[in-house]
């Protein structure tokens, strides 16, 4: 097994969203990667600038954050050429690591735009080092910048940030401050590919929570009627946890509930409903163990929402002639 620590730089339409290509919002213009072996030792590097074919002028934001201003893109190779060599360099036993969640999604978007076969399996599990840094060193929730993590760990800043290879390099140095167990026990799911049917639905168990990714649904009403989506099994023993507060919306397409396991206490359920590229929706449900104090906060949130709805109904009724 090899860890492929990947970082990408991409460009977007310089004329704004109204003029962008709907099939490719972000065009990759640089791939940088570092290869680590199972003991997290550096074994190789990959770096190449890519000639843009869709957005040939750099967006002003791209100019601000990347160090490619002096690069002659005309002499660079196309994305299909570079991508083919990159995946050959990765090898068949590659495990991908990134800083954040966006790189693998945009890589697959670019593969699809160029009608290239994706080498990624389903489901695609990878390691988000930004998340694992938070789990290991901070509060599990915060998502820090790469430079913040480098400073926190006292890693010398010997090369500039914001080029694909340098950011992959710094991410690999952060990984070397982690143990393989800390990395491998905290995988993430890439949502570019989602389950197409009930058999493909994804179930993962972690130390403090469980995750479920559903098949597609016509809309969120249909999704919230599905028993697999709204189930609340204990994230520690897997047995059904009794709901104390049923699912209720907390804004947008997010829902939470409160359940209780006789052996392991209170559980917080959270459902996020997302839309796929075909406009169908799917659910990401997490269930995590929480304290009695956190359970009380959920009860308070439910009560506040109930009171707001009551006041809104009263206000509307008072306005009716």
Which pLDDT value is given to residue 153? 97
Whether the CB-CB separation of 257 and 224 falls below 8 Å is answered with no
Q: What is the pLDDT of residue 209?
A: 95
121-125, Cβ contacts within 8 angstroms, sequence gap of 24 or more: 122/193, 122/200, 123/189, 123/190, 123/193, 123/195, 123/202, 123/213, 124/96, 124/189, 124/190, 124/192, 124/193, 125/187, 125/188, 125/189, 125/190
Q: What is the pLDDT along the chain (321 residues), one digit of tens a residue?
A: 999 999 999 999 988 888 999 999 999 999 999 999 999 999 999 999 999 999 988 887 887 777 666 677 888 999 999 999 999 999 999 999 999 999 999 999 999 999 999 999 999 999 999 999 999 999 999 999 999 999 999 999 999 888 899 999 999 999 999 999 999 999 999 999 999 999 999 999 998 999 999 999 999 999 999 999 999 999 999 999 999 999 999 988 999 999 999 999 999 999 999 999 999 999 999 999 999 999 999 999 999 988 888 887 766 666 656
In CATH, what number does 2-184 get? 3.30.420.10
Q: Tokens standing for 320?
A: 């009716």
The pLDDT score that the predictor gives to residue 318 is 63
Residues of the chain with CATH 3.30.420.10: 2-184
Is there a cis peptide before residue 220, judged by omega within 30 degrees of 0? no
Q: What is the pLDDT of residue 259?
A: 97
The pLDDT assigned to 67 comes to 65
């Amino acid at each position: 097994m090899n860890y492929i620590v990947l970082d990408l730089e991409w460009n977007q339409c310089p004329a704004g969203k109204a003029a962008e290509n709907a099939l490719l919002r972000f065009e990759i213009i640089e791939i940088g990667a570092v290869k680590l072996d199972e003991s997290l030792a550096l074994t190789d590097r990959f770096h190449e600038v890519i000639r843009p074919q869709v957005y040939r002028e750099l967006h002003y934001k791209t100019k601000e954050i990347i160090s490619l201003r002096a690069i002659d893109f005309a002499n660079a190779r196309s994305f299909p050429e570079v991508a083919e060599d990159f995946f050959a360099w990765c090898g068949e036993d590659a495990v991908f690591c990134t800083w954040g969640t966006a790189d693998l999604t945009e890589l697959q978007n670019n593969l699809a735009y160029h009608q290239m076969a994706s080498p990624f399996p389903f489901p695609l599990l990878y390691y988000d080092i930004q998340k694992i840094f938070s789990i290991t060193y901070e509060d599990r929730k915060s998502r820090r910048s790469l430079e913040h993590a480098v400073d926190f760990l006292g890693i010398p800043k010997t090369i500039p940030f914001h080029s694909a290879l340098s950011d992959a390099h710094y991410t690999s140095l952060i990984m070397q401050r982690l143990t393989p167990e800390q990395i491998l026990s905290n995988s993430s799911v890439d949502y570019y590919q989602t389950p197409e049917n009930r058999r493909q639905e994804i179930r993962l168990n972690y130390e403090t929570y469980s995750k479920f990714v559903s098949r597609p649904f016509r809309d969120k009403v249909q999704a919230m009627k599905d028993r697999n989506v709204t189930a609340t099994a204990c994230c520690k023993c897997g047995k059904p946890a009794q709901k104390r507060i049923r699912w209720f919306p907390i804004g947008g397409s997010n829902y939470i509930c409160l359940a209780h396991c006789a052996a392991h206490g209170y559980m917080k359920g959270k459902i996020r409903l997302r839309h796929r590229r075909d406009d169908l929706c799917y659910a990401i449900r997490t269930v995590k163990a929480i304290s009695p104090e956190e359970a009380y906060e959920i009860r308070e949130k439910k009560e506040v929402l109930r009171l707001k709805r009551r006041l809104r109904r009263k206000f509307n009724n008072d306005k009716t002639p």
